């Protein structure tokens, strides 16, 4: 299936149990864009997974980070500083409230160009809109 995805150039939202699992998939499928859900840790259950996610995004050109259900805002801020062109807004809807996610992004006061990319510019580029 991933070979078909690579040929169609479709980004894949991936939520593995551990961020370390991304090393194998990112290196094994470099033509596929992978988006790591929840900055690597749903509801910030493990802050070290957030740090590992940022490291993976820095290491692999094909790995991006998604912002939904990240409770510890400082890691969103760190991701925006470390990999500003690889952070993508997400809401985890329909159960996650996109207004809350949007408010978190606005609270960390990103530079306008970074905020614009997080809130849509990066994903538009990935899907060639």
Write the pLDDT tens digit of every residue in 59-95.
999 999 999 999 999 999 999 999 999 999 998 888 8
Give φ, ψ of 65 to 5 degrees.
-120, 140
Enumerate residues 6+ apart whose C-beta is below 8 A from 24: none
> Are 122 and 90 a contacting pair, CB within 8 Å?
no
For β-strands 12-14 and 87-88, DSSP reports them as: unpaired
Per DSSP, the three-state class of 53 is helix
Write the pLDDT tens digit of every residue in 12-55.
999 888 999 888 899 999 999 999 999 999 999 999 999 999 99
Q: What is the rounded CA–CA span in Å between residue 37 and residue 31?
A: 19
Residue 37: CATH number of its domain:
3.20.20.140
Print the domain residue range for 14.
2-126
Number of structural domains found in the chain: 1
Count the alpha carbons within 13 Å of 108 in the hemisphere toward its beta carbon: 23
């Amino acid at each position: 299936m991933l070979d078909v995805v690579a040929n169609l150039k479709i980004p894949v939202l991936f939520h593995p149990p551990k961020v370390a699992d991304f090393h194998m998939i990112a290196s094994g499928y470099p033509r596929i864009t992978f988006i790591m859900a929840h900055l690597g840790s749903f509801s910030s259950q493990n802050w070290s997974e957030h740090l590992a996610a940022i490291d993976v995004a820095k290491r692999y050109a094909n790995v991006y980070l998604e912002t939904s259900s990240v409770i510890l805002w400082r890691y969103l801020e760190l991701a925006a500083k470390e990999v500003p062109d690889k952070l993508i807004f997400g809401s985890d809807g329909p159960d996650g409230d996109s207004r809350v996610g949007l408010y978190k992004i606005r609270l960390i006061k990103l530079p306008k160009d970074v905020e614009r990319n997080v809130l849509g510019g990066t994903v538009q580029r990935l899907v060639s809109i």
